[in-house]
Amino acid sequence: MHPSLLNRNVRETQYAVRGELYLKAEELRQKGMEIIFTNVGNPHALGQVPITYNRQVLALCAAPFLLDHPEVTKMFPSDAISRAKELLSYNKGGIGAYSDSRGAAGVRKEVARYIEKRDGLPANTVNENTIFLTDGASVAVRMGLNSLIRDENDGILVPIPQYPLYSASIKLYGGSLIPYELDESKGWGMNVETIRKACADAKAKGILPRGLVFINPGNPTGQCFSKDNLKELARFASEEQVVLMADEVYQENIFQDERPFVSMRQVLHELGEPLNSKVELLSFHTVSKGALGECGLRGGYVDMHNIHPGAVEEVYKTASINLSPNVLGQMAMGLMVNPPAPGSPSYDGYMKEKNDVLASMRRRAHIMTDAFNSLEGVTCNFTEGAMYSFPQLHLPKKAIEAAKSAGKSPDVFYCLKLLEATGISVVPGSGFGQAAGTFHLRTTILPMEDVMKEKFVPLLTDFHKKFMDTYRD
């Protein structure tokens, strides 16, 4: 299996989050250097603690013999015990058995009720049979893209900057990426006229737009879209007959009060007919973000709204190739969408742990943004949501020339120097796409507050000063 004999799309696929910088960081780590991995949104790896109740329930699901232990009521709260029994009842054989290829029906029903409650929808209007549980939201996204893309003449509208899951998957499935730029000068705002022009330009080249991706809150840009923005998108999707792909995995991670998270499903409901029953929508969510941060459990879902039943059946068929999404991840999803009820033994502790995580993230969003904006030649929009800051680096000409001499793009050059000097592992902006002539980097805001204040910010500040002194024009 020589590289030259592989599928061309496999060879041409790139994924910057685990690219050159990450590989270099791993090399340095193996040589004994302490690395602060802020290249990927992986909260527990940077010190976030799991939510106690969720892990108690999952422990019982993973070791159901504990439910028969004479001391079980002393080891676990009563609501964790009853919840574990409920989740285990959804899948005969427990976590060691395959579930339905869409995921266990009981968990899918809980997801449906969660969506109804979140979005103010009438009871029993969300169909659990159009919800697919997946091994993280990424699998759900790829499922959608793989179904939409027929050949290179099918295009997917994707925001720039974007999360490279989209560019990589579109390349892998042989489609065409249609970029539409977000406006950094307006807080990474989205302009529907920009999308309209990108759509027209693609059509002029013989590329048919099939889907439109938007990430709310944004990755890597951290912006939150207003309800008016989302209504414009819905109308555009209806006009152009494109499938909306709503990446809403960071919906709990909101760090300002002016623009709370609003789902596209809620927006369609509020717009009413004919849009609510016309606009095709794939909505994605996960247990990997929010207050849970359970990346390793790989629990996600896609909610298919207004998708033709025949198309849903075809997706079900392809999902069946993998037999079953992992069952422990499904149970984690159930715990996310159906947490302890008020008045239950675990409720107060659960809410305190959850709120403490989100409050700390809000503080870290300010710490990170303020740190970048204090640096010479760096500007950074506030991280309104998600888990990332995406500052622009206004690099001196000498630095750009040095990067060229080293055979690197300027943002890669800067990030490599940062990594080698400090152990801070970030991702160059070029991996996400950026306006011509601009340079950025993406970092998570996930290091714990003490690490951020005592290590990350001082290391970053000291490095940047020395870098600018070295390459100042």
What the block records as the tokens of 457 is 């910010």
CA dist 367 and 471 (Å) reads: 27
Question: 278: part of which helix (H) or strand (E)?
Answer: none
**Res 6: pLDDT:** 80
pLDDT in tens, 128-151: 999 999 999 999 999 999 999 999
pTM summary value: 0.94
CA atoms within 13 A on the CB side of 107: 33
Q: Which residues pair with 117 in a beta bridge?
A: none
A 10 A CB-CB count for 169 gives: 22
Report the share of the chain in percent with pLDDT over 70. Answer: 99
pLDDT at 1: 84
Spatial CB neighbours of 178, under 8 Å, sequence gap ≥ 6: 155, 156, 157, 158, 198, 199, 201, 202, 207, 209
Residue type, 163: Y
Asked if 226 and 260 count as a contact pair (C-beta separation under 8 A), the reply is no
Does the pLDDT of residue 430 top 70, yes or no? yes
Q: Give 425's strand partners.
A: 37
Q: Residue 337: its pLDDT value, please?
A: 98
Residue-wise pLDDT tens digits, 30-67: 999 999 999 989 999 999 999 999 999 999 999 999 99
State residue 40's pLDDT score: 87
Antiparallel, parallel or unpaired: β 427-428 and 441-444:
antiparallel
pLDDT at 17: 63
Contacts of 184-189 spanning 24+ positions with Cβ under 8 A: 184/381, 184/392, 184/435, 184/438, 187/223, 187/381, 187/382, 187/384, 188/161, 188/218, 188/221, 188/222, 188/223, 188/381, 188/390, 189/223, 189/229
